[in-house]
A and B are shown apart, each in its own frame.
Chain A
Amino acid sequence: MNEPSYQPLPTDLEQTLRGMGGLEAPQELDHRVALSLTAVEPAPEELWTRVQSVLAEEASADVSSTTRILSFRRFAAAAAVMVVLGAGLWMGGVFSGASQGSVSLETLRDQYGARVLVLRVEPSQLSATAQGLAGSLGAPVSGGRSL
């Protein structure tokens, strides 16, 4: 494709354009450029010494607060375990009570006794505390039948 022939601008338009040159930059440009080119000041060694001590203090404060948080977490975990165990024991009591209605305790004891090592003892062989504990777990502690 050929370029159209060169057409110069009309003289008056060219003169108008030429008259639009020679602007003076406002003083704001001086300030902006000076600010942009302001050199970065090197920090003195003392700054690092100061910052280091502040950082060390902050680090120790962080550790103590972490310890507090951890101790609280331990307490919360222990409480949660106790709640779960308590609930488990209570549920076990409920279900054992329910099962007692349909299946006899002796049948269950014989059934599970065949699977695990069971040491049968007489109530008289146990201390009063052990008898209390065994009784609370459902074992007959009175009469002739051994545990």
Chain B
Amino acid sequence: MDFEAAFSRLYALYKDRVYTICFRVTGNQDDALDAAQETMVTLARRISDFQFRSRFSSWVYRISVNAAIDTRRRRLDAPRGKVRTHVGSGKEEGWMADSTAEGRDSDPVVSAQRTESMQAVRDALTNINPKFASLLVLRYLQDLSYEQIAETLDCSLGTVKSRLNRAHTALREHLSQRGGTSHSIS
């Protein structure tokens, strides 16, 4: 199998997962595309750097997280006029899962509450420390175990648990400050 065919399979396997990480950490489509593109190009160009000391997926996630955090920091450092805002209505930005989840409720009140909750959590993820946001995304959106998160972030299991606890606290605090959410944040 030549490189192009191999990379095509790799790309198809990871593009959605990479995009999800990038979108949830950066909070907007433009930055998510930048970070996801950077991740995929890095994968293609530095594939020979993979040492087979960890799962391949951990390596992919590590590159994604770093690219997303870097992109978000660059955006924060950019002049105010260049700050990208989170606009758009859904599918065209790759929010299929949100739309599907919102559509499950036949009761319009419940549906509205769910939409509000998701919006609050989305805002929280893009406002708390990006390292905490990445940790929450890996744990809950990508459903990684503590061990794989430790492998991805190249740190100990204890560090992962400690940081995740702090990420929980940061998320809860942000939601309680924002107020008006239906989540049980206590």
CA A9 to CA B93, docked complex, whole Å: 28
Given the interface pairs A7-B169, A9-B168, A36-B37, the reply to whether A21 lies near B143 with Cβ below 8 Å is yes
Residues of chain B with a CB closer than 8 A to A10's CB: 183-186
| Chain A CB within 8 A of B178 CB | no
| Chain A CB within 8 A of B18 CB | yes
Q: How many residues of B contact A (CB 8 A)?
A: 48
CA A4 to CA B162, docked complex, whole Å: 9
CA A14 to CA B167, docked complex, whole Å: 13
Given the interface pairs A3-B162, A18-B141, the reply to whether A9 lies near B98 with Cβ below 8 Å is no
Residues of chain A with a CB closer than 8 A to B186's CB: 10
Given the interface pairs A4-B165, A7-B165, the reply to whether A26 lies near B29 with Cβ below 8 Å is yes
Q: Establish whether residues A13 and B37, one from each chain, have CB atoms under 8 Å apart when the complex forms.
A: no
Residues of chain B with a CB closer than 8 A to A36's CB: 37, 40-41
| Chain A CB within 8 A of B72 CB | no
Given the interface pairs A13-B171, A16-B183, A19-B101, the reply to whether A25 lies near B36 with Cβ below 8 Å is yes
Given the interface pairs A7-B165, A18-B143, the reply to whether A37 lies near B96 with Cβ below 8 Å is no
Given the interface pairs A7-B165, A12-B183, A12-B184, the reply to whether A22 lies near B16 with Cβ below 8 Å is yes
Min Cβ gap A140→B in Å is: 87
| Chain A CB within 8 A of B60 CB | no
Q: Establish whether residues B19 and A20, one from each chain, have CB atoms under 8 Å apart when the complex forms.
A: no
| Chain B CB within 8 A of A29 CB | yes
Interface residue SS majority, chain B: helix
Residue interface mask B92-125, A partner, CB < 8 A = 1: 1111111001000000000000100110011000
CA A140 to CA B109, docked complex, whole Å: 126
Residues of chain B with a CB closer than 8 A to A19's CB: 97-98, 101, 118
Residue interface mask A20-54, B partner, CB < 8 A = 1: 11111110111011001100000000000000000
| Chain B CB within 8 A of A8 CB | yes
Q: Establish whether residues A21 and B141, one from each chain, have CB atoms under 8 Å apart when the complex forms.
A: yes
- Give the interface size class of chain A: 20 to 34
Q: Establish whether residues B16 and A23, one from each chain, have CB atoms under 8 Å apart when the complex forms.
A: yes
User: What is A's interface to B at a CB cutoff of 8 Å?
Assistant: 3-4, 6-10, 12-14, 16-26, 28-30, 32-33, 36-37
| Chain A CB within 8 A of B56 CB | no
Min Cβ gap B8→A in Å is: 10
CA A10 to CA B96, docked complex, whole Å: 24
| Chain A CB within 8 A of B50 CB | no
CA A4 to CA B88, docked complex, whole Å: 39
Partner of A23, one of B23, B117, B185: B23
Given contacts A10-B185, A26-B94, 20 further A-B contacts (CB under 8 A): A7-B169, A9-B168, A10-B183, A10-B184, A12-B117, A12-B182, A13-B171, A16-B118, A19-B97, A20-B118, A20-B141, A24-B94, A24-B96, A25-B15, A25-B18, A26-B19, A26-B93, A30-B11, A32-B37, A37-B7
| Chain A CB within 8 A of B54 CB | no
CA A32 to CA B19, docked complex, whole Å: 13
